[in-house]
Amino acid sequence: MPFGEIVCGSPGSGKSTYCQGKHQLFTALQRPIYIVNLDPANDNIPYPCAIDISELITLQEVMDEHGLGPNGGMLYCMEYLEKNFDWLEGKLGELGKEDGENGPADVYALFDLPGQVELSTNHESVKRIVDMLQSKCGFRLAAVHLCDAHYVTDAAKYISVLLLSLRTMLQLELPHINVLSKIDLIGNYGDLDFNLDFYTEVQDLTYLENSLSTSLSPRFQALNLAMISLIEDYNLVGFETLAVEDKSSMLHLTHAIDRATGYVFVPRPSNASSTHTSKNPQPEGTIDESHKPVSAQPNEYALFSSAAGPLKNTLMNMAGGGSAGTRFAEAKDVYDVRDVQERWLDAKDAWDAFEKREWRREGEKVRDEVARAKAMENEGGKSDPERGGGAK
Ligand SMILES: Nc1nc2c(ncn2[C@@H]2O[C@H](COP(=O)(O)OP(=O)(O)O)[C@@H](O)[C@H]2O)c(=O)[nH]1
Ligand SMILES: [Mg+2]
């Protein structure tokens, strides 16, 4: 069963960077992943692209041929893709056939969408493309909606991003994960009025009234209150956080997405034994369950990143040797938004310094290991009987 993510969000919210980060993470976890670029204006694609819409249509062509501007051109491109969905279906059908994979049935794909907000809020083409991915190609999808974390620094912007997230959720009708992206930059925008969990958990929004009434004309106060109560009535919006370069953050988000799509609950790909080749061996100490029926075997791709439950002690381990990480140094086993607050707001400098020390230590370790391996190789060469240097 193919699984995937519809990666959406405003221009510059970090969609392509997230796709690239996820590709790197999954490659490290030996979990296959394919990225489909559906943004015809994406010129510098930072990730290896399995399928690229620009093979079908480019924004520049459309603008030149039909005399359209960038926005109209983008809508045209999406309508064109909808009409030519067979092209996408054919390309998706080719995925996963190399490297002993199980073919398109077991593909995990990321769909990098264009940033025009109306595409995921009120234009119908993307919605119909998503529907066809599910009905024709059998994908189990989740929407991953990226919003720049900068929006939480201002009450009015925060309300607008809540409304945007709510509208996108209602439009796409998918299991939905809203994400405050670039959370590593949040400290640059000054102090927040509330702790981060107030924003991620969308707690009692009436607390925002004061800041809203000072930043806007009194005429709009009633409207603000009405919008706040609308968001609270639906009670649907919440946020995860993301800093692409931070492995714990990426793993935590992957965990949330795997639960939303249901990936953690499916058995592993039916030919997964073929992934344990000499090139891709089973990790040392793993219990070999290949004799059991596939349905009784754990989905190890998800296990590495997800099904194992909350990422126990990930950050605590990092904190073990340093002075940073006051919260993490306590015996705790859940990575939550308070950890994010400490990492990027309360103790950012201490954590940055700690990470730098860790990287240096890791670099030195690798250098020593390489030197040791070289020395052993040289010694082995000297004592090699075939070369005549060894004792007989
Ligand atoms: N500091 C930081 N910058 C990020 C992060 N994610 C994306 N960016 C930057 O945000 C900018 C826009 O990202 P991009 O992926 O092109 O956004 P897109 O238009 O949504 O695809 C780029 O300069 C990225 O380097 C992040 O997690 N942290
Ligand atoms: Mg992009």
Which residues on adjacent β-strands are paired with residue 145? 8, 178
Q: What is the DSSP string of 85-120?
A: HHHHHHHHHHTT-STT---GGG-EEEEE----HHHH
Ligand 1 centroid–CA 244 distance in Å is 9
Nearest ligand 1 atom to alpha carbon 20: 15
Here the tokens at position 252 are: 């935590």
Per-residue pLDDT tens, the chain, 392 aa: give them: 899 999 999 999 999 999 999 999 999 888 889 999 999 988 889 999 999 999 999 999 999 999 999 999 999 999 999 999 999 999 999 887 775 566 677 889 999 999 998 998 989 999 999 999 999 999 999 999 999 999 999 888 999 999 999 999 999 999 999 999 999 999 999 888 899 999 999 888 888 887 777 766 777 778 888 888 888 888 889 999 999 999 889 999 998 999 899 887 776 655 444 444 444 556 566 667 666 665 566 666 655 544 444 444 444 444 444 444 444 444 344 568 888 998 999 999 999 999 899 989 999 999 999 999 999 888 876 655 555 444 43
Structure tokens at 369: 């290991």
Quote the tokens at residue 3: 């699984």
Cα torsion 231, 234, 236, 237 to 10°: value is -10
Query: How many angstroms separate the CA atoms of 222 and 48, rounded?
Result: 49
Cα–Cα distance between 118 and 116 in angstroms, integer? 6
Q: Is any atom of ligand 1 closer than 6 Å to the C-beta of 244?
A: yes
182 CA to centre of ligand 1 in angstroms: 7
Ligand 1 neighbour 11 (Cβ under 6 A)? yes
Task: Give the neighbor-by-neighbor strand order of the sheet with 51-52.
Answer: 51-52, 34-37, 108-112, 3-9, 140-148, 176-181, 239-241
Q: Is 380 in the pocket of ligand 1 (CB under 6 A)?
A: no
Choice from 6, 16, 17 to test ligand 1 binding pocket (greatest atom count within 8 A of CB): 17
Name which of 33, 27, 31 is nearest 49 in CA terms: 33
Q: Is the CB of 185 under 6 A from ligand 1?
A: yes
Q: Name the pairing type of β-strands 176-181 and 140-148.
A: parallel
The reply to whether ligand 1 has any atom less than 6 angstroms from the CB of 184 is: yes
